[in-house]
Structures are given as C-alpha cells and as structure tokens.
Structure 1
C-alpha cells in the first residue's frame, strides 16, 4: 500500500477554514431561509438538471436523430464541451483527492462513479458555468434567456454547497474551470461543415460495421 499523502500545513489550514466556513454558510441559510429540508426537492432538481450523464446521453442521441445542420452543429460542439469537462474534472479530482463534506450522503447522489468520492472541483459547477457562458457567447440569445441561463448556473453552484456535496472552495474552483472551458470551446467552435464531417464519419463507421453483420 502507498504512503498517505502529506498535506502541506498552509494548505491544510486553508482546507480546514473552508470546511468551517462551508458549514457556517449552510447553517446561516438554513436559519434565514430554511429549514433547507423544505427546499430539498428544488435543490435535488438543480442537481439532476446539470448531471453529466443525462446531458451526454441526450446530446449524443439527438446528434443522430436530428437532421438540421445548425442544430447538429450546436450538438456536436456541445458534445465536445461535455467530454472536455468530464476529462478535466476527472483529472483534477484525481490529483486533488479532496474528500466531500462530512455531511454528504453518498446514497443520495445520482449515478456516481469512484472518482465522484472526491470533492474538488465541483463537476456540476464546471458544467453549469460552462454552459451558461458558452451559449450566450456563441448565439445572439433573447436577453431574458441569457439571464435565465446565468441564474440557473448560479443556482446550481449554490445548491452544491447547500446539499453538502461540496465545500465553498470546490465551487469556486469549479466556476473558474467552467469559465475557462467556455472560452476555449468558443475559440474551438466547429463550423457546420466540420460538425457534419464528424457526424458523417461515425455514421459511415456504423454503416460499415452493419454491413459485416449481414
């Protein structure tokens, strides 16, 4: 068995401070607007609304179901963004290896994998911030829709702390990563032609595979 990693004292103090401040924040919100148990359905709804697996499955499915070129372009770029987000979060979590808050209940988390036992950064926050920034960057959205996206992303971030899923610094880290990812994907945004090439490649591969089954 490997030796237990020694956390530097300054970092340890910061993490302990973060844990204390997170607990105080949750208690404050619970006293001011709670009890939080009354809002559990809303908080869980926000959690489900930004879970990576439904987003990934839904995006992949609609790429092959929908034929409109502009919609496919959006979906292909969204798929790339989601894959980038999953990889980045998994790598950072594996490096940081910070445990989730003590009050977190693993059995209440929807479709978890082993890497999800780690807390930094919040994957929900990276995804929510990335999406709420990326869409307004790429499309001239109706202003109220932009406001709604930002409000949703912000609510998801706050809910991660209130559900005891993450500490405050996990959320802040997720916000920063999500912002950078949105800028990167915006710069790498595929054109309709490039997106169509990607889709056709996989469709051709599927058709070739099917021909061997005949």
Structure 2
C-alpha cells in the first residue's frame, strides 16, 4: 500500500506568512531607527521638516507662485494639479489599507490635514516631497531655457540640489520622528515619483 501523500501546500497561508514576516521586519527596523536616533536628533527639527511639507502650508505657497516671474510658469500647472492628484491618490490608498501608525508615534504633536492621515501607509509627506523634487528635476530643462543666458543655470542647479536634499531628509525624518514605518516612506516616495512623471507628461499646459 502506497504511503499517504502529503497535503498540498497552502499557497495562501504561505503568502500570508511571508507578508507577516516582511511587516515584522519593517516594524522592527523602523522602531530601531527611531529609538537609536532619538538622543542625537532634536524632535523640533523633524517637526519643522514636517511643517515644511504639510499640504495646508505647501499648497497655498504653490498657488502664490502664480505671481512669480515668467520662468516658473511652465512648472506651475503640473505642480498645482499634481499636488491635488497626490492628495486624492494618498487618501484612496490610505483608506484602502488602513495601516495604523507606529505605537510610539506622539499623536499629540501631529495635526492631520484629512481624516485619512490617521493611517500610516503610505507616507503623504514622502510622496509630496518626492513629487515636488522629481517634477522640478523633470522641468529643469524648460525652466533653464527661460533663464538669462549668462546665468548658465548655476542658480537652478543649486535650487534643484537643495530641493532634493529637502525631499530626502524630510522622507527619512518621517521614520526617525516615529510617524511612519520604513515601507510607508519607501512606497510614498515611489508614488510621488510616479505622480511627477504623470504630471510632467499629461498635466502641462
């Protein structure tokens, strides 16, 4: 008599186990990064970065750029429409996954812009800053053409570098401040880059 065959592997259970393992690693890594940097980085610096990328501050500032010199005009329609798109996309994703923020997040110091901001995945700040930095990078050639020839784009290169530094530091600070997990920031940054590509190719007027 043949020995009984082993039961077929439960692919669904294996998938859940892998996802659980990745989430556990993400949670552990995020907490270690947060706890290790607390003695060295004052929280108020991270809060300033948080404020600098807050939609309620950043969007009105972007609208005010409509009064800026002509050289920024090609950059403004995709920027403003892209910020609105980012808000919509992030709300949909957050409300779909509904991932709770880290337990060590100090909610008393956090003001949410929309109800979806109570959820963690993905990071809206990381998405927003990476969208702005990516769009600025993609629009650099257009803006450079409108600048004075003698400038040779040196000022623009400096601004682009500053914007990318701001985007990277702000994104990293979301984990160090305890607002998000590492995966929240990573996927938020990816969303921002994809939105910038979409805005650059389809939202320019």
CA distance in 2, matches of 1:70, 1:168: 37
| Other structure's SS at 1:74 match | helix
- 1:100–1:165: 8 Å Cα contact kept in structure 2? yes
- 1:101–1:165: 8 Å Cα contact kept in structure 2? yes
Which residue is 1:21 aligned to? 29
Structure 1 pair 132–116 and aligned structure 2 pair: CA distance change class (3 A): same
Q: Deviations over 1:27-61 (max 9, x none)?
A: 2333xxx333xx22211110000011212233345
Which residue is 1:57 aligned to? 60
Structure 1: 4+ residue segments shifted above 4 A: 67-73
Higher relative contact order (CA 8 A, sep 6+): 2
Which residue is 1:110 aligned to? 111
Which residue is 1:94 aligned to? 95
Q: Deviations over 1:131-167 (max 9, x none)?
A: 0111121123622221111110000101101111000
2:161 equivalent to 1:147: yes
Q: Deviations over 1:74-109 (max 9, x none)?
A: 333221010110011111111111100001122211
CA distance in 2, matches of 1:23, 1:118: 17
Shift of 1:72: 4.8
Which residue is 1:82 aligned to? 83
**Unmatched 5+ stretches in structure 1:** 1-6, 192-214
- 2:75–2:139: 8 Å Cα contact kept in structure 1? no
| Other structure's SS at 2:180 match | coil
2:17 equivalent to 1:9: yes
How many aligned positions are there? 178
Range that drifts further, 115-124 or 52-61: 52-61
TM, length-normalised to structure 1:
0.75
Range that drifts further, 163-172 or 111-120: 111-120
TM, length-normalised to structure 2:
0.78
Range that drifts further, 116-125 or 14-23: 14-23
2:40 equivalent to 1:35: yes
**Unmatched 5+ stretches in structure 2:** 1-14, 145-152
Which of the pair has more CA radius of gyration? Answer: 2
